[in-house]
A and B are shown apart, each in its own frame.
Chain A
Amino acid sequence: MKADLRVALVGNPNTGKSTLFNVLTGLNQKIGNFPGVTVDKKTGTCQLPDGRTAEIIDLPGTYSLYPKSKDESIVFSVLADKHTDTTPDLVVIILDATNLKRNLLLYTQVADLKIPVIVALNMTDLAGKSGIIINTETFSQKLGVPVVSISARKAKGIDELKQAIAFANKVPLQLDSIDVESIAPALIADISAEVKTDNPYFALQLAHQHEHLKSLTSEQSDRIEALEQKHSFHSQKAQATETIARYNFINELLADTVTQPENAREESMSNKIDHVLTHKVFGFVIFIGILLFMFQSIFAWSAYPMDLISSGFVLLQDWLHKALPAGPLTSLLVDGIVAGLSGVLVFIPQIAILFAFISILEDTGYMARVTFMMDKIMRKVGLNGKSVVPLIGGFACAVPSIMSTRTIENWKDRIITIMVTPLVTCSARLPVYTLLIALVVPNKTVWWIFNMQGLALTAMYILSLVSAVVVALVFKFIIKGRERGYFIMELPVYRMPRWNNVALSMYDRSKAFVFEAGKVIIAVSVVLWVLASYGPGKRFEQIESKYSQPQYTKTVKADDLQRMVASEKLENSYAGVLGHVIEPAIRPLGFDWKIGIALITSFAAREVFVGTMATIYSVNGDADNMQSVQEKMAGARNPDTGKPVFTVAVAFSLMMFYAFAMQCASTMGVVYRETKNWRWPLAQFTYMTVLAYVVSLITYQLLK
């Protein structure tokens, strides 16, 4: 549906912008990307009192129109670009009444672009409590724009705001704030003539940001650059002049409209909480406690719904196999697409729970404190305080963790975090580790209390963290940062989490994951299905005819026969052939072609390893029946030497491979989604596979 009016929400971070967006649009929201960038574009529709519909665009929170991060650069391009389907007719700018001075800087910049503006004054109740009195009428008169007092959290003043949006003028009413032209008169005149604008502030902004604007042709950009040279324009100096002029205007405005309490500066509630939460000792203890709780919850709470989803899919697959005629189409649907789908949907509980936690931690303001406490440690290895959460989340699953790296503004820090997160031992590695450890590590107690198997598992977890840190350190020197790293960050006041925002964030992220990463995952599943279901030439037919001969059908039970056929077919499928092809390459690691097939099939997901082993050794029962897989694997002998296939050296070499290799189509899908460039998932796949190979090789050769 075409909206009658397009409204952009603009404001500083932590001003309640997203809450207002949720209140205005409810469930009529969608998330997309702004054209050409990964920044989330949140839009929704809102019914106005006069019956018209308004499309609301939630722009990333920013302190000024001069961007510090990729997210922030969207704000100016959306406001500046006059002829796109995101160009707003009206801007609602949200000001935090408790922090008007800093908030007004962005207002004056947006107002000077001369797009019609309405001010939504949020948190007036909080301002009142701390003794700040704002004369909204004079305020509105001085600015020349409608000012509506709202409380986004309590959904107060929303009708009035909708009313104001409906009544909004098509022409901007706001009065000028500063004398923009005096900053660079000649340059502004020249650029205005060049791009045919009558707005001096727009012209000035072009001088600063022309290189990053998609709406300008490269010739235009070059000509603006030439004009800058001609007038020897210095971007940062001009910005400094402008900022000081704007704050002068703001100070005068505030002097006339706002009564500040006489510096009581009593200890605020937030400060008292911070004494504990950022304490030298307790701060870290509480942080680790919260992480453990989160980590535990992701495992514990997601187990039941995940089981439900996967067993639901098993039932569905069974039913489909029975209901549909057997044939390649059914198999493609059931074993390729539906199986792929289950691999996608099974992650939803973990994603939802992790995002519930992250959204609560961010909403309350605690995340900013974690960043504050951890920045020094993380910076040493080329990460950022904000990388802590994704890395810990990686213990559950890399997929939601990589999605959560968006809170990292610095591009380089974010990319490094994305690159190393899959190294952290995720839950999919657990079945592989437990199977292999049970196979070769004796279940004995050492040093009185430690169980050797438990120690081995713990060692694998510690190894993963160490490797993530080491690799991050390497990437710190390889990846070139485009931006200078800043850590100038607001520590917001502690607040209660907004539960409906938490719920919406769980819903949004899960949906985004299913629809975007899901496409890639299903595609890979289908490819793997083809590789495992077809063989070159007539091999499959030959197997069929071989086993349909009486010597088999008479002597072997039907079930066993089926498994023998399946096992031999797998060996002769493209995947099996590939297993044989790569055998020379993986021999030095101690692997045979059967393990080779498992490596190939578990590229899609590591947990496939157990299932593949089960098929290859044609074990009785299902893949979940670990005992029988383990017994078969323990009994497996090398046909040439007669010695066991799974020696300590082979098992550890395999575990190392699973610890380091990428082997997760979901992660690659989500890395592509988050970086919008195949370069990153491919680079990640390559480095992890190479690392896995080298570490496995060393492990096997040492233990052999």
Chain B
Amino acid sequence: MKLSQLEVGMRGIVKEFTDLEMSVKLMEMGCLPGEEVVVERIAPLGDPIAINVSGYQLSLRKLEASTIILQ
């Protein structure tokens, strides 16, 4: 399952990434394999989304979220 498929309030654990370049940026921001993420809100127009990861809120576009595979 991809992170972009989660609804608001749903949580998942990061398993792997489909895009190497994006994964480097995401991992720097604390989105690491094994880390729990929760979708906190979706922007009024449906994109981007905001997730909670390691204690803070991170916003990313759905396209970017779709490169994160959850367990």
Contacts and interface: CB of A to CB of B under 8 A. Distances in A.
Interface in B15-37: 20-30, 32-33
Nearest to A100: B55
Interface in A231-265: 236-237, 239-240, 243-244, 247
Interface of A is mostly: helix
Contact of B21 (A236, A274, A284, A376): A236
Interface stretch (A3-11, A60-68, A681-689, A695-703): A60-68
Contact of A98 (B28, B33, B55, B59): B55
Interface string B35-71: 0000011011111101000111111110010000000
Contacts of B54: 99, 101-102
Contact of B30 (A102, A237, A274): A102
Given A102-B56, A244-B32, A491-B57, A66 B46 contact: no
A357 to B, nearest CB: 22
A536 B60 CA distance: 62
A372 B50 CA distance: 9
A278 interface: yes
B: contact size bracket: 20 to 34
A: contact size bracket: 35 or more
A178 interface: no
Given A278-B44, A376-B48, A240 B29 contact: no
Interface of B is mostly: mixed
A243 B33 CA distance: 11
A487 B29 contact: no
B68 to A, nearest CB: 11
A704 interface: no
B24 A101 contact: no
B17 to A, nearest CB: 9
A365 to B, nearest CB: 10
B29 A372 contact: no
A513 to B, nearest CB: 31
Contact of B48 (A271, A372, A484): A372
A372 B55 CA distance: 19
Contacts of A486: 22, 25, 64
A490 B50 CA distance: 9
Nearest to A283: B44
A102 B50 CA distance: 17
B56 A240 contact: no
A375 interface: yes
Contacts of B40: 271, 274
Contacts of A105: 28, 30
A377 interface: yes
A480 interface: no
A279 B44 CA distance: 7
B31 to A, nearest CB: 9
Given A236-B21, A491-B58, A375 B28 contact: no
B3 to A, nearest CB: 12
A278 B40 CA distance: 12
Given A99-B54, A486-B25, A488-B26, A373 B44 contact: yes
Contacts of A63: 28-29
B41 A274 contact: yes
B60 A487 contact: yes
A280 interface: yes
Interface string A364-386: 00001000110111000000000
Nearest to B54: A101
B45 A490 contact: no
B21 A484 contact: yes
A27 interface: no
A270 B52 CA distance: 12
Contacts of A490: 29, 56-59
Nearest to A375: B48
A124 to B, nearest CB: 15
Contacts of B45: 373, 376-377
A105 B58 CA distance: 16
Contacts of B41: 274, 278
A491 B50 contact: yes
Contact of B59 (A99, A239, A243, A487): A487
B58 A99 contact: no
A468 B37 CA distance: 38
A487 B24 contact: no
Contacts of A247: 27, 30, 32
A243 B44 contact: no
Contact of A243 (B27, B50, B58): B27
Contacts of A326: none
A488 B58 contact: yes
B46 A237 contact: no
Contacts of B29: 63, 102, 488, 490
A491 B57 CA distance: 5
A99 B56 contact: yes
Interface in A262-316: 270-271, 274, 278-280, 283-284
A489 interface: yes
Interface string A43-72: 000000000000000000001101010000
A66 B32 contact: no
Interface in A90-106: 98-99, 101-102, 105
Interface of B: 20-30, 32-33, 40-41, 43-48, 50, 54-61, 64
Of all A-B residue pairs in the complex, the 4 with the closest CB atoms, nearest first, are A491-B57, A376-B45, A102-B30, A280-B44
27 contacts: A63-B28, A99-B55, A101-B55, A102-B29, A105-B28, A236-B20, A236-B21, A243-B27, A244-B32, A247-B32, A270-B57, A271-B40, A274-B41, A280-B44, A372-B48, A372-B59, A376-B46, A486-B25, A488-B25, A488-B26, A490-B29, A490-B56, A491-B56, A491-B57, A491-B58, A493-B56, A493-B57
Given A99-B55, A486-B22, 10 more contacts: A102-B29, A102-B54, A239-B24, A240-B23, A243-B32, A244-B27, A376-B48, A487-B59, A490-B56, A491-B50
